[in-house]
Amino acid sequence: MAVASAQTRQAVASLGGQSVPSANRMFSRDRELAVSSGRQSQMTDRDED
């Protein structure tokens, strides 16, 4: 079993999302998709309370 140090885990986690330029990310390209996803997320959050 491989165990990474806290510093290694932090370094890997900080890379999240950097492989795709921000201009090419789905929500940057499709505003309607971002809006509808936000609404769905808010409705899900309300249902859990």
Q: Which residue would you say has higher pLDDT here, 46 or 43?
A: 43
**22-37 per-residue burial string, b: 16 or more CB within 10 A, e: under 16:** eeeeeeeeeeeeeeee
Task: Give domain status of residue 15, yes or no.
Answer: no
Q: How many CB atoms lie within 10 A of CB 6?
A: 7
Task: Give domain status of residue 11, yes or no.
Answer: no
Largest CA distance in the chain: 44
Q: What is the pLDDT of residues 26-35, one digit of tens each?
A: 888 888 988 9
Task: Give domain status of residue 13, yes or no.
Answer: no
Task: Give domain status of residue 47, yes or no.
Answer: yes
Task: Give domain status of residue 27, yes or no.
Answer: yes
Q: What is the mean pLDDT of residues 1-16?
A: 85
Number of domain units in the chain: 1
Task: Give domain status of residue 25, yes or no.
Answer: yes
- How far is residue 45's CA from residue 49's CA, in Å, rounded to a whole number? 7
Task: Give domain status of residue 5, yes or no.
Answer: no
Query: What are the tokens at 26?
Result: 């789905």
Q: Domain residues for 28?
A: 21-49
Task: Give domain status of residue 39, yes or no.
Answer: yes
